[in-house]
């Protein structure tokens, strides 16, 4: 039952076919959406018949789960680690955004599917996913609250700010291509700078300016 190929020399893409399937599925789901992407579409991309897919997977939804859940795990774990550090709120926010961006820019297809198609998970998984997301948002709010309390951040609505930050960084996979020379770390620096320091060269006095 167990694959005893555990010699260290396995750097070659031997563990491939299923992984290749999952990669192709992520790309297909990204492009057409989970519901609109058929197993026959996926089979065509793989160069085989639709029924043959079931030699590798149990169901279509298993593919979606294998895209969403590992990503959710990796994101959650990273943020929890950052929260445990004893550094300023500003540094925490910077590290949190960097880790988040690092994860999603290294998995752009998966991230887009993760963000947009999670609702097609069936029931134990969907709820689990949503509560993980809620906890993630609340952990981010914790950082903001700390920063506001000790004067590092301005007094903003924590919830709105957290959701706004998240959706700003979550749009990155839409335009990020690793071929164009820009690294995830550079992106993290750029976005963190914009969001923390703002666009303006000098802040405006009052809170309201519209009339």
For DNA, the binding residues in 44-83 under the rule CB under 7 A are 46-56, 58-61
Segment (H or E) for 7: none
Q: Is 152 in the site for a second copy (CB under 8 A)?
A: yes
Find the angle CA(83)-CA(89)-CA(91) to the nearest 5 degrees: 85
- DSSP 3-state of 206: coil
Q: Is 122 in the site for DNA (CB under 7 A)?
A: no
Which residue in 23, 116, 139, 146 binds a second copy (CB under 8 A)?
Answer: 116
Q: How many CB atoms lie within 10 A of CB 24?
A: 18
* Size, binding site for DNA by CB under 7 A: 30
Partner in contact with 3, chosen from a second copy, DNA, none, beta carbon below 5 to 8 Å by kind: DNA
Partner in contact with 181, chosen from a second copy, DNA, none, beta carbon below 5 to 8 Å by kind: none
CB 95 within 8 A of CB 82: yes
Minimum distance from residue 72 beta carbon to DNA (Å): 21
Partner in contact with 134, chosen from DNA, a second copy, none, beta carbon below 5 to 8 Å by kind: none
For DNA, the binding residues in 10-39 under the rule CB under 7 A are 16-18, 37-39
Question: Exposed e or buried b for every residue in 54-71, given b needs 16+ CB within 10 A?
Answer: eebbeebeebbbbbbbeb
In whole angstroms, give the CA distance from residue 142 to residue 140.
5
What's the distance, CA 194 to chain centroid? 20
Q: Which residues bind a second copy (CB under 8 A)?
A: 32-33, 35-36, 90-91, 93-95, 98, 116, 119-120, 144, 147, 151-154, 156-157, 159-161, 163-168, 170-171, 174-175, 185, 187-191, 193-201, 203-204, 206-210
């Amino acid at each position: 039952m167990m694959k005893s190929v555990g010699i260290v020399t396995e750097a070659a893409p031997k563990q491939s076919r299923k992984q290749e399937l999952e990669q192709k599925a992520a790309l297909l789901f990204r492009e057409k959406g989970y519901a609109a992407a058929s197993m026959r579409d996926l089979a065509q991309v793989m160069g085989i018949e639709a029924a043959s897919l079931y030699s590798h997977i149990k169901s279509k939804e298993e593919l979606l789960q294998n895209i969403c859940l590992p990503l959710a795990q990796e994101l959650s774990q990273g943020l929890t680690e950052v929260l445990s550090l004893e550094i300023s709120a500003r540094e925490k926010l910077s590290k949190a955004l960097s880790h988040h961006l690092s994860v999603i820019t290294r998995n752009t297809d998966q991230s887009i599917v993760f963000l947009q198609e999670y609702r097609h998970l069936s029931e134990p998984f969907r709820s689990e996913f949503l509560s993980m997301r809620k906890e993630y948002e609340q952990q981010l709010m914790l950082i903001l609250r700390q920063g506001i309390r000790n004067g590092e951040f301005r007094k903003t609505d924590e919830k709105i700010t957290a959701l706004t930050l998240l959706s700003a960084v979550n749009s990155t996979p839409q335009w990020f291509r690793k071929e164009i020379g820009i690294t995830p770390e550079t992106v993290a620096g750029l976005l963190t700078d914009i969001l923390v320091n703002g666009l303006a060269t000098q802040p405006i006095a009052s809170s309201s300016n519209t009339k």
